[in-house]
């Protein structure tokens, strides 16, 4: 049978798909990693990786093996946790992944509270785009994911946190709301590919490819997009909770209304965690703190948009 060390090598290589990068992460030389992988394949009797493809990929056997190895690795970490608890060296670590358009307000809002309430644990926070966050959860690289739903997967537990209205930031002092028909006549400033708020803008505002000028900026920062609107006109979309973070021109924030559907756009913010998670008690407390802070903002006229 293969060793725990070989399992670590295989999982790292499966994630990076690159021998040199995997060897660096495992703190071994590339020949050592290659030798251990070859030995593991010989012991198992099957190839785990297809080395003949342009990008290193898993064989059919490897695709079935890797999820099993992840479970073994997960259970092994629980053994180390028990040992650390017995020696008094253990400190729980909660790894939180969340998308940028949520972290931009949620972390400033709740970090101090978490620091006081969970002083006995270490919280590591990482920004990830939606698809990368789902992958990180599947690979057990994060314990808790926070993003816009919906999301359905039998291996992932999802918990609704709150419903958040999506508003327009538009360079005008007119009404407190703007019709979707008006937005189609203006230039949209977009977040970069992979940000769900970009996808939601494209769908709700029914944007076409030619709606974007040849000279354009696609950014990952809401602050930059607001400045582009201030200086160049047009509009961008912002989550409602981000509104209080805007330092200037808050009167540019407008509710969006669809005269045809008689609805305003919104997104459902959800928490996600692997179904099998030994840290659930702590994660539940973090989830509850988010629900209590933002409350229930549901509106019967909301059209909840998908992140895909």
Q: What pLDDT, in 10s, does the model give residues 228-263?
A: 899 988 888 899 999 988 988 888 999 988 777 778
The rounded mean pLDDT for the chain is 84
Same CATH fold, 164-265 and 93-162+267-304? yes
d(CA 200, CA 210): 17
d(CA 47, CA 60): 9
Tell me which of 137 and 140 has the higher pLDDT.
137
Going by pLDDT thresholds of 50, 70 and 90, the confidence category of residue 18 is: confident
Q: Is the pLDDT of residue 226 over 80?
A: yes
Tell me which of 219 and 134 has the higher pLDDT.
134
Going by pLDDT thresholds of 50, 70 and 90, the confidence category of residue 125 is: very high
User: What pLDDT is attached to residue 130?
Assistant: 86
267 neighbors 238 (Cβ within 8 angstroms): no
User: What pLDDT is attached to residue 192?
Assistant: 74
For domain 4-87, the CATH architecture is Orthogonal Bundle (1.10)
Tell me which of 231 and 140 has the higher pLDDT.
231
69 neighbors 11 (Cβ within 8 angstroms): yes
For domain 93-162+267-304, the CATH architecture is 3-Layer(aba) Sandwich (3.40)
User: What pLDDT is attached to residue 163?
Assistant: 92
For domain 164-265, the CATH architecture is 3-Layer(aba) Sandwich (3.40)
Q: Which of 119, 188, 114 is nearest to 144 (CA)?
A: 114
Q: Is the pLDDT of residue 39 over 80?
A: yes
Q: Is the pLDDT of residue 296 over 80?
A: no
Domain ranges of the chain: 4-87, 93-162+267-304, 164-265
The 10 Å CB-count burial string (b at 16+, else e) for 95-126 is bbbbbbbbbbbbeeebeeebeeebeeeebebe
CA neighbours closer than 13 Å in the CB half-sphere of residue 164: 30
Tell me which of 181 and 253 has the higher pLDDT.
253
70 neighbors 139 (Cβ within 8 angstroms): yes
d(CA 63, CA 188): 41
What are residue 219's phi and psi, to 5 degrees? -115, 170
CA neighbours closer than 13 Å in the CB half-sphere of residue 51: 8
Q: pTM for the whole thing? A: 0.72
d(CA 18, CA 26): 12
Going by pLDDT thresholds of 50, 70 and 90, the confidence category of residue 207 is: low
């Amino acid at each position: 049978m293969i060793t725990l060390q070989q399992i670590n090598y295989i999982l790292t290589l499966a994630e990076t798909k690159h021998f040199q990068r995997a060897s660096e992460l495992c703190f071994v030389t590339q020949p050592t990693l290659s030798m251990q992988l070859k030995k593991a394949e010989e012991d198992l009797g099957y190839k785990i990786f297809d080395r003949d493809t342009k990008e290193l990929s898993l064989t059919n056997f490897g695709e079935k093996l890797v999820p099993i190895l992840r479970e073994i690795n997960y259970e092994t970490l629980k053994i180390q946790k028990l040992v650390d608890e017995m020696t008094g060296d253990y400190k729980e670590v909660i790894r939180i992944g969340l998308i940028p358009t949520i972290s931009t307000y949620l972390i400033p809002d709740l970090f101090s509270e978490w620091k006081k309430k969970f002083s006995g644990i270490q919280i590591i926070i990482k920004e990830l785009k939606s698809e990368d966050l789902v992958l990180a959860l599947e690979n057990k690289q994060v314990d808790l994911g926070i993003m816009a739903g919906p999301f359905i997967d039998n291996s992932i537990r999802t918990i609704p946190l709150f419903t958040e209205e999506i508003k327009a930031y538009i360079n005008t002092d007119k009404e407190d709301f703007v019709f979707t028909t008006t937005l189609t006549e203006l230039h949209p400033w977009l977040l970069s590919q992979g940000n769900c708020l970009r996808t939601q803008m494209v769908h709700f505002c029914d944007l076409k490819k030619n709606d974007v000028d040849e000279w354009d900026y696609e950014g990952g920062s809401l602050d930059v997009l607001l400045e582009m609107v201030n200086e160049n006109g047009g509009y961008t979309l912002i989550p409602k909770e981000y509104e209080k973070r805007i330092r200037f021109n808050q009167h540019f924030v407008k509710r969006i209304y669809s005269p045809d559907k008689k609805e305003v756009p919104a997104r459902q913010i959800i928490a996600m965690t692997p179904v099998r998670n030994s840290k659930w008690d702590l994660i539940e407390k973090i989830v509850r703190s988010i629900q209590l802070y933002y409350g229930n903002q549901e509106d019967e006229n909301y059209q909840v948009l998908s992140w895909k």
